Structure 1
C-alpha cells in the first residue's frame, strides 16, 4: 500500500512545478530500519510501473536502491539476534551464555513461524504473521531488551527515552507554527511525536514479510543495490543483513558469495560486491550510520550514487 502511494506521489511530484526539473535525473530509493521493507517495495513498484507505463504516467529513471540497517528478510535475520548479543565483532557479550543457548533453541520455532507467514496462503497469513511476531520478539529480542542496553548501539545504555536518543530538537522543529503552515497541517488539532506506540503496532502487520525477492528482481534487471549496516546495532544487525544478502536467490548469487570481502575506505568498513550488489559492514556505527560515522556515510552514499566501486 505504501509503495503504491509513493509511486503516485512521485508521479505527481515530477509533474509539479517544483519537481519537473528533476524528472530525468537518476532516482535512488534509500531507506533505513523499517525502510528495509519500504525501500525495496517502493523501488519494485517503480520498476513494475516502468515495465508497463499507464496512460498519463511517466517512466521514472530508477537508478538504484539502498538500505541501511534494515529489516528485509526476517526469516534469515531473526536467526542472528543470538549471535549479535553474544558473539559480535566487538566481543561484547550483552547476555549470559545460558540466555544465548535459550535463544538458539528458539530459532527453529521462530523461523518456522516466519516461513508460514510468507507461505502465500492468504487464509492463514494474518494470524501466522502476528503469531510469528509475538513469539520471535519475546524469544529472540526480549532477552536483549531486558538488559536495558541501547538496541541501536550495544555499547550504550538506553536511558529513559523510548528510542534511546534525544529527538526533542526534531519535535520542536516539526511542531513549530512555520513548519505546520508549510506542510498545511492544522496547527490547533495536530502535534508531531517522535514515537507513538499505538501507530507503531498498526504497522507490525507486515513485519515478518520477506522483501528480499523484490531486491532480487531489481538486481536481475541491472538495477544496483547497496545493503549497509553499522556493526554495533542489535535490532537490524550486520550479521543478519550480511546473511540475507548471501542467501538471496538471484542470477549472480554464486559470484557474489564467492567475492572477497575487502577493506573499505581505509579501515572504515568491510565490503563485498559483485554484479551490482554490495554489502557493506561499517565499523563502529550503530543503527544510524550517518549519526555515528557521518564522514564515512557521506563517502558511502557518494560512491553509490556515482556508480563507483566499493
Structure 2
C-alpha cells in the first residue's frame, strides 16, 4: 500500500476516534424499511462495547424527541425477563414511535410515543438479549443481576462519550417487569459512581419509574397468589397449597413442589393471557378472527383494535436483513435469529436478588424522583404484590389514596408517600403502555414534570 494512502487512512480513523459526533453520524438511522411516512426527529442505533477483553457489546436505539430535543430530558427504557428485548417490547409495541403492522414488514406511527415528551433510549441488556452480543460464549451463560448492573453502568460511561451533547441532561430510568431489579440496581450504581467522579463525569440521574416490577420475592409471590384467588382464577385448595409450598426461595428458581402446584394453577386459569387477564390471548383462533377484521378495515368498518399478537409481528420485522442493515446490526456477532426473549439468558441466570427493597431504602433519602406503577389486570406481578412491597418500606403518606383522571374518566388510583409515588392504571396489564397507551403518556408527562396525577376538574354550576 502507498505510504501516503496508508497515512491518510490512519488519519481518518484517528479523527473518527477523537470525534464522537463522527461516530454519532455512523449510528444515524436514515429511514427504516416499511416506513411509509416521514418523521421530524433523528434516531441512532448501534453498539457500545462494555468489555473490550471479552468483546461484550450492548445494542442501543436512541429516538430523539420529535420537537426541540435539546430542551428535553433523556429517558432510558429497559425490559426484563431476564432475557427480554427492550427493542421488541418497549420500543416496538409500547412507548416507541415505530410499531409493526400485522404483516411484519411495514410500520405505523404510534400517536402516544414517549418521544413526544423526551428523548428515549432503548438498550438490550444483558449480552445475549436482542442484538446485544459477546465474542466470548461463556458470557452468555453467566449473566446475573450484578454483572448486568456493572455492564449497564459501563454502557452509560461510554455512551455519554459518544453523545456528549447529552452530558448533564436530566436523566431518568424507566421500564417494567424484571427491570424492577435492573432499574434500582443501575440507579444505585450510578449514585455510587457519581460519588467517585469529577463533575464532568457525573451522570445527572434525577429519578426512576418501574412498572409491574419484581421487587421482593416473598411479597411478589404472596401478592400474586392472593390476586389469582381474589379474581376467581384459582381454587381455594390451590391457593392454600401455593401459600404453603411457594413461601420461600427465589422467584426465578422455585422448588419442585412449588412448580407442581404452579402448573395446577395454570390449568385452573385456562387459556388466558396472564399478563393481561381481560384481553384475548394470541391464539390460532384469534389470528383467524383477525383476518376478518383486516377485511373489514379495507372497507373502513372498524378502527385499529387491540392486537395480542404484536410480538409475532416484531419477530418477523427484526429478522429482515434490510431492517438489521438499517439499524447497523453486527450480524456476524449477534445471534443469527432475533427473538423477543432469550431462553439461554433466562435459564442460565446466575444471581437474582431476593429483594431490592434495601436499595429503595438507600436511594429514597437522596431525593430522587421514584415512581412505581401497576396495571391492575396483570396476574404475573399484580397490584397486590406491589402494594405489599411498598407497605414494607413504611413510608409516610403525603397524599392519601384517590382516583386520578384522564379525559374525565378514572384512569386509575394513586397514593403519594414521602419519597415515592404509587400509581395504578385501570384496565392495564403487565405492559401498561401497550394496553393503555394514552394513559401511559399522561403518566410519563406527570412523572417528568414532578406533578401529581391529574384529578377530575370540577365544572362550575354557573
Establish whether TM, by shorter chain, passes 0.5.
yes
How far does residue 137 in structure 1 lie from its aligned partner after superposition?
4.7
Q: Do the aligned partners of 2:238 and 2:265 also contact (CA within 8 Å) in 1?
A: no
Q: Do the aligned partners of 2:150 and 2:189 also contact (CA within 8 Å) in 1?
A: yes
- 2:329 is matched with 184
- Is the strand fraction higher in 1 or 2? 2
Give the direction of change, closer, same or farther, for the CA distance of 1:167–1:24 in structure 2 (3 Å limit): same
CA distance in 2, matches of 1:133, 1:282: 33
CA distance in 1, matches of 2:419, 2:256: 36
Give the direction of change, closer, same or farther, for the CA distance of 1:39–1:153 in structure 2 (3 Å limit): same
Deviations 1:59-113 (A, max 9, x none): 00000011111111112111112211121xxxx3111222222223335xx23x3
How far does residue 211 in structure 1 lie from its aligned partner after superposition?
1.6
| Residue 277 of structure 2 corresponds to residue 154 of structure 1 | yes
Give the direction of change, closer, same or farther, for the CA distance of 1:194–1:287 in structure 2 (3 Å limit): same
Give the direction of change, closer, same or farther, for the CA distance of 1:52–1:208 in structure 2 (3 Å limit): closer
CA distance in 1, matches of 2:424, 2:179: 17
Q: Do the aligned partners of 1:233 and 1:285 also contact (CA within 8 Å) in 2?
A: yes
- 1:232 is matched with 377
Structure showing greater radius of gyration is 2
- 1:28 is matched with 172
Deviations 1:19-71 (A, max 9, x none): 21111111111121111111111111111101112x79710000001111111
CA distance in 1, matches of 2:449, 2:199: 31
From 223, 239, 257, give the equivalent of 1:100.
Answer: 239
Give the direction of change, closer, same or farther, for the CA distance of 1:100–1:165 in structure 2 (3 Å limit): farther
From 291, 296, 301, give the equivalent of 2:434.
Answer: 291
- 2:402 is matched with 262
CA distance in 1, matches of 2:345, 2:395: 41
| Residue 190 of structure 2 corresponds to residue 46 of structure 1 | yes
Matches within 5 A, 1:239-250: 239-248=384-393
Could you tell me the TM-score, scaled by structure 1's length? 0.80
How far does residue 224 in structure 1 lie from its aligned partner after superposition?
1.6
How far does residue 189 in structure 1 lie from its aligned partner after superposition?
6.4
Matches within 5 A, 1:80-159: 80-87=223-230, 92-107=231-246, 110-111=247-248, 113-114=249-250, 130=253, 132=254, 136-139=258-261, 141-146=262-267, 147-156=270-279, 158-159=281-282
| Residue 346 of structure 2 corresponds to residue 200 of structure 1 | yes
Give the direction of change, closer, same or farther, for the CA distance of 1:185–1:134 in structure 2 (3 Å limit): farther
- Is the helix fraction higher in 1 or 2? 1
- 1:120 is matched with none
CA distance in 1, matches of 2:431, 2:401: 22
CA distance in 2, matches of 1:79, 1:136: 13
How far does residue 133 in structure 1 lie from its aligned partner after superposition?
5.8
From 425, 435, 446, give the equivalent of 1:303.
Answer: 446
How far does residue 165 in structure 1 lie from its aligned partner after superposition?
3.8
Task: List structure 1 segments (4+ residues) > 6 angstroms apart after TM superposition.
Answer: none
Matches within 5 A, 1:55-70: 58-70=201-213
How far does residue 281 in structure 1 lie from its aligned partner after superposition?
1.2
